[in-house]
Amino acid sequence: MNKQGRQITRRNFIQSSIAAAAAAGVTLGAPTPQSPRWTGQPITIGLIGCGIRGIEQMQNLLGVGAKVAIVCDLYDGHLRRAQELQPNTPVTRDYREVLERKEVDAVLIATSDHWHTRIAIEAMQAGKDVYCEKPMTHTIPEAFEMVKVSHATGRLVQVGSQSLSMQSTHKAKEWLDNGDIGTVYAIQCEIYRPGPVGAWEYPIPPDASPKTIDWERYLGDAPKRPFDAARFFRFRNWWDYGTGISGDEYVHLLSRVHYLMKVQYPVSAVAYGGLYKWKSDRDVPDIHNTLYDYGKFQVATLANLICNYDGGEIVRFFGDRGTIVLTESSTTLLPYDLEWTYGYPLEAWPRDLKNQFIAQHKNDPLADIGTYDEQPHRQKKFFKQTGEGTKDHILNFFQAIQSRQQPIEDVDFGCGTAVACHMANISYREKQGVYWDADHHLLTGEKGSVDMNLA
Ligand SMILES: NC(=O)c1ccc[n+]([C@@H]2O[C@H](COP(=O)([O-])OP(=O)(O)OC[C@H]3O[C@@H](n4cnc5c(N)ncnc54)[C@H](O)[C@@H]3O)[C@@H](O)[C@H]2O)c1
């Protein structure tokens, strides 16, 4: 109880602190340049899934000053690691224990993809806000289930493609919105991850066994099969648990595209790929290239887990006046030298016709057959990013919890990028181009129907 005798609930506690956040000068969607810390009211998180990403996120949560009240995972080794980071942290194999905890304001879900939706929906129904690692869902129908529950419960979802909180993305936004590269008609996204870790051939801990891993729970709704440590620790390699290159990597690139181009869904996608090098019993491709049409522009997405470490993740926005190149750590603006003169074709005309044309077009700048316009006022610009965005993304989520405004990567946004990623997978798996009907949430194939429930 406070001095006025009013009971302090989590909700009114948070509402009353909105002003404090505003006073701290924090703005939704604006990343901070330094290693950020949460300065608002205390926020308590339950972490569900503490493998590679979950452990990293636990460090980020503690690093920004959040409280991690309880950690859930299905492998004892990961739970032991969580307790190394924060001694005596309560741990469990059953995520429902996390949802039952009253002091937990929000959950951070970093499980394998096939568990995201179920846990997120149950968490929202239990009154928790949700930070869900990308890709938001395992299938297209699941994405719309999540949207429905978030809207119905008023619980917030922040999807974890932290590139939206990177300063480099916001610098690109400034330049794009300013018209610095004109109108964008084409975008090229690339991601390359050579080597076994890049190809998700992760090492398996020596104590992996049905004793240390809750295999039955892990399978969930996936087809039943005997214990297989590879399918647990390398889940991305199978459609039953993961979403392939598209759900793992396209989603980072397409999040930037959707955010900066202000679109929610592609209109169509056609994908090609295959398993060229990593030929164990995995069933997702190691090369996956997709061409998307968004109506007013196209996006080519090139990705493989084999070769070419030419900068890792790159998104190139091609406008009619310049190009913006986004990497994980920088943004570059490359204005074009505008070679807009008729000089070159006029060289093939006899002199009298050429002079006649120039005289007739003396007020037309294109008729100038002199040297190309160097456009000296259009300089190359370069912006260097500090940090990698995740802590800012967490802070953006915390600001949303406090203000009850939507975070930067809300459930509707996450649904759009999830649909785009699943379209690439379904096109690849069904061997046909696919078309998205945004009004009816329906996917059709150029050769007939497609299975929207495929990962
Ligand atoms: N945003 C990013 O940059 C980023 C980076 C890496 C991973 N991720 C995402 O994070 C998620 C996890 O990836 P990872 O690399 O940490 O995988 P991982 O295999 O290392 O960890 C997944 C963990 O989830 C646990 N888990 C599975 N089902 C569970 C359940 N029902 N209840 C509790 N725990 C469960 C497993 O025990 C495992 O420890 C994936 O969705 C991945 O796409 C995001």
Residuewise pLDDT in 10s, the chain (455 residues):
233 333 333 233 233 333 333 333 333 344 555 678 999 999 999 999 999 999 999 999 999 999 999 999 999 999 999 999 999 999 999 999 999 999 999 999 999 999 999 999 999 999 999 999 999 999 999 999 999 999 999 999 999 999 999 999 999 999 999 999 999 999 999 999 988 999 999 999 999 999 999 999 999 999 999 999 999 999 999 999 999 999 999 999 999 999 999 999 999 999 999 999 998 889 999 999 999 999 999 999 999 999 986 658 999 999 998 999 999 899 999 998 766 677 778 889 999 998 898 888 877 767 765 544 444 456 789 999 888 899 999 999 999 999 999 999 999 999 999 999 999 999 999 999 999 999 999 999 999 899 999 99
Contact between 323 and 316 under an 8 Å Cβ cutoff? The reply is yes
Provide the 3-class DSSP secondary structure of residue 190: strand
β-pairing verdict for 44-48 and 67-72: parallel
d(CA 214, CA 246) in angstroms, rounded, equals: 28
Q: Hey, whose CA ends up nearest to atom 18 of ligand 1?
A: 51
Asked whether 134 lines ligand 1 (CB < 6 A), one says yes
β-pairing verdict for 106-109 and 44-48: parallel
Asked whether 112 lines ligand 1 (CB < 6 A), one says yes
**Residue 201: is it exposed, middle or buried by C-beta count within 10 angstroms (0-12/13-18/19+)?**
middle
d(CA 286, CA 430) in angstroms, rounded, equals: 17
Helix, strand and coil in the chain, % to nearest 5: 35, 20, 45
Contact between 430 and 451 under an 8 Å Cβ cutoff? The reply is yes
Q: Report pLDDT for 316.
A: 98
Asked whether 111 lines ligand 1 (CB < 6 A), one says yes
Kindly report the pTM of this predicted structure.
Answer: 0.90
Helix (H) or strand (E) holding 184: strand 184-192
Cβ neighbours of residue 357 closer than 8 Å, sequence gap 6 or more: 342, 346, 349, 367
Asked whether 48 lines ligand 1 (CB < 6 A), one says yes
Helix (H) or strand (E) holding 414: helix 411-430
d(CA 163, CA 231) in angstroms, rounded, equals: 28
**Residue 221: is it exposed, middle or buried by C-beta count within 10 angstroms (0-12/13-18/19+)?**
exposed
Asked whether 95 lines ligand 1 (CB < 6 A), one says yes
Which of 47, 50, 53, 58 should be mutated for ligand 1, with most atoms under 8 A from CB? 53
Asked whether 393 lines ligand 1 (CB < 6 A), one says no
Task: Supply angle C-alpha 402, 99, 159, rounded to 5.
Answer: 55
Q: Which amino acid is at 344?
A: Y
Q: Hey, whose CA ends up nearest to atom 13 of ligand 1?
A: 53
- CA 315 to chain CA centroid, nearest Å: 13
Contact between 305 and 200 under an 8 Å Cβ cutoff? The reply is yes
Closest CA to 415 of 249, 255, 236: 255
Q: Report pLDDT for 345.
A: 85
CA distances from 405 to 146, 158, 228, 423 (A): 18, 11, 43, 30
